[in-house]
Amino acid sequence: MDQQSKPGLIVAPLTPFTADLAVDEPALRRQIDYVIGDCGTTMVVAAGVETQEYTYLGLEQRKALIRATVEAVGGRVPVMVGISHPSFRTAVELAHDAERLGAAAVQLLAPLRPFAGPPTQSDLIAYFEAIGRETRLPITLYLNPGPGADVSIADTIALAKLPCVQLIKESSRDLARVSRLIVEIDRTGHARYFTTMQMLLASLELGGSGATMPPPGCEIARHVIDAFVAKDYERAAEVQLQFALFPSKWMHRGLAPTMKAAMNLIGVPVGDPYPPYAPLTREESAALAAFLRTTVLAHRFERTAAA
């Protein structure tokens, strides 16, 4: 990943499903064209975060989704493959698949201890070292308490110092935590630190490496990053503000349903969430459309209306 210059914009495409709950590959391809062609994505994640709804899939379906993602990207940008799985052996199998597919990295959730109690630092280090021995690809440490462990500041720093861990994907919105970790991990060269939509500009200012997110957040993020790189900090802050209400106001539905609704609204349809989760109601969707028309995504609506 050395060739990746800061700041990075890592995008996790949403997973479109057909009526019979297979992956809708044409819709996936159109979406990937959007995130690479229109959003300046610097890396694509294949089946790496929960918002990609990959956890619903059986193993073969998940592998097919990874393959389809790599093919759709077609070498335009590097791909990072999610290998998180409760089974250690399956995680390694997914890493080997990723190597064969030409992936640039793998992403691995800091795991819960399967029986009661949080994992210790030595549990966590043993786990990442064991995976690191099995693959030559760099590992992205994925921090997402809930699905994964709630890793302390000290334990995160210890993991970041492992040679196999070269990137961190942090889901926390705790700016005190993230400020400290960017300074102790990214600025010291242990690993590159990536955060989320709401944290993007603050992370860039602190010296963080960027953010990862689903579309269409990435189109907003592209404007933030371009303004920041151009040193137009007022513009950067003005666009960052668009993440204050979106997706927060619709999060009672969950992130995947909200982002899918937004994509459908801007003319890059990706269908409904995997059942039993519900799409936004008509009213919620209308309110979302009204909000998105006030953002840098407004031009998508004109295009849609004109079509």
Q: List residues near a second copy by CB under 8 A.
A: 21, 50-51, 53, 55-59, 61, 86-90, 93, 112-117, 122-123, 126-127, 130, 146-147, 153, 173-177, 179-180, 182-184, 196, 198-199, 201-202, 205-207, 231, 233-234, 237, 240-241, 243-245, 248-249, 251-252, 254-257, 274-278
Q: Which is nearer to a second copy, 116 or 306 (CB)?
A: 116
Distance CA 295, CA 249 (A): 15
Angle, to 10 degrees, between the axis of helix 121-134 and the axis of helix 153-160? 20
Complex with a second copy: residue 38 or 272, whichever CB lies closer:
272
Q: Is 63 a catalytic residue?
A: no
Query: Min. distance of Cβ 103 from a second copy in angstroms?
Result: 21
Catalytic residue among 142, 161, 260, 277: 142
From the candidates 34, 169, 193, 260, which is the catalytic residue? 169
127 or 142: CB nearest a second copy: 127
Q: Which residues contact 297 (CB under 8 A, 6 or more apart)?
A: 216, 219, 220, 262, 266
Which stretch of DSSP H or E encloses residue 65? helix 59-73
Q: Is 169 a catalytic residue?
A: yes
Task: Kindly tell me which of 104 and 112 has the beta carbon lying closer to a second copy.
Answer: 112
- Residue 212 has φ and ψ, to the nearest 5°, of -120, 145
Give min distance, CB of 252 to a second copy, in A.
7
Least gap, CB of 30 to a second copy (angstroms): 22
DSSP E strand boundaries for 3-124: 8-11, 43-46, 79-82, 105-109
- Please state, in angstroms and rounded to a whole number, the distance separating the CA atoms of residues 19 and 216: 23
Give CA–CA dist 24/29, Å, rounded. 9
The count of other CB atoms within 10 Å of the CB of residue 87 is: 10
> What are the backbone angles phi and psi of residue 4, rounded to the nearest 5°?
-75, 115
Nearest to 25 by CA among 57, 65, 58: 65
Peptide bond preceding 247 in cis form (omega within 30 of 0): yes
Smallest distance from a second copy to CB 187, Å: 9
* Nearest-approach distance from CB 283 to a second copy, in angstroms: 17
Residue 236 CB, shortest distance to a second copy, in Å, is: 8
Note every long-range contact of 202-207, with CB atoms under 8 Å and residues 24 or more positions apart, other chains counting: 202/175, 202/178, 203/178, 204/7, 204/228, 204/236, 206/178, 206/179, 206/182, 207/182, 207/183
Question: 78 or 247, CB closer to a second copy?
Answer: 247
Between residues 33 and 184, which has the closer beta carbon with respect to a second copy?
A: 184
Spatial separation of the C-alpha atoms in residues 154 and 158, rounded to whole Å: 6
> Which residues form the catalytic set?
142, 169
